[in-house]
Amino acid sequence: MTDKVTKDERSRMMAAVRGKDTKPEKLVRSGLFADGFRFRLHAKELPGKPDIVLPRYGTAMFVNGCFWHGHDCPRGRRPASNTEFWNRKLDRNFERDQEKTRALENDGWFVEIVWECRLADDLKRVLRRLRSKRTRLRKAESS
Ligand SMILES: [Zn+2]
C-alpha cells in the first residue's frame, strides 16, 4: 500500500487532531486574562463552539490555524498534491466557518477571528475593542 500523504501533510494533520488548547489559543487566553478580561472556553451550547467566549462583552472568538481555515497568507496555501482531497476538505472547513459566524451573529454575538500568522496584531485589535467596550459598560453601570 502506498502512502500518499507526505510527511509535511501528516504533521499538519496531527497538529489538527490535537485541536483544543493549541499554543496560539493559550497565548490569546493569557493576553485577555492579563488585561483583566474573563472568559469561558469551548462554549458547547453556542453555534460552532467558539474557542473563547466573553459573555459580558457579547464576544465570541475563534483562534484559527491558517492552513485548516484557509487564511489568505502563505501558511494558508493549499498542498500541491492530492488537490482534490484537500480542496474538498478545506472548502468544507471554509463553509463551516462562514456558517458558524453567521449563526453567532444572528444570535447577537460579535465574532472575532484571531489568525495564527498575525496573532499579536489580531490580539491587540481585539483588546482595543474590548477595552473601549469595558469603559462604556463601566460608565453605564456607574451612572
Ligand atoms: Zn495566516
Secondary structure (DSSP) of 43-87: -TTSTT--SEEEGGGTEEEEEE-TTTTT-SSGGGPPPSSSHHHHH
Q: What is the pLDDT of the chain when averaged over all its residues?
A: 90
Q: What radius of gyration do the chain's Cα atoms show?
A: 17
Largest CA distance in the chain: 71
Quote the ligand 1 centre to 66 CA distance (angstroms): 4
Stated pTM of the model:
0.81
- The answer to whether domain 7-137 has CATH 3.40.960.10 is yes
C-alpha grid cell, residue 96: 463551516
Q: Give domain limits for the chain.
A: 7-137
According to the model, what pLDDT value does residue 93 have?
95
Which of 11-20, 42-51, 73-82, 120-129 has the lowest average pLDDT? Answer: 11-20
Q: Are 50 and 43 contacting, i.e. CB atoms less than 8 angstroms apart?
A: yes
Q: How many CA atoms lie within 13 A of 85 on its CB side?
A: 7
Q: How does pLDDT run across 43-100, given as a tens digit for each residue?
A: 889 999 999 999 999 999 999 999 999 999 999 999 999 999 999 999 999 999 999 9
Residues whose beta carbons lie less than 5 angstroms from ion ligand 1: 66, 71, 73, 75, 115, 117
State in Å: Cα 81 to ligand 1 middle. Answer: 20
Ligand 1 centroid to residue 4 C-alpha, Å:
26
Q: How close is the Cα of 64 to the center of ligand 1, in Å?
A: 8
Strand bridging mode 59-64 / 110-115: parallel
Among 21-35, 72-86, 121-135, the range scoring the smallest mean pLDDT is: 21-35
What residues are paired with 41 via a beta bridge?
52
How far is ligand 1, taken at its centre, from the CA of residue 15, in Å?
16
Percent with pLDDT over 90 in the chain? 80
Distance CA 2, CA 37 (A): 50
Helix, coil or strand: residue 37: coil
Residue recorded with cell 492579563: 34
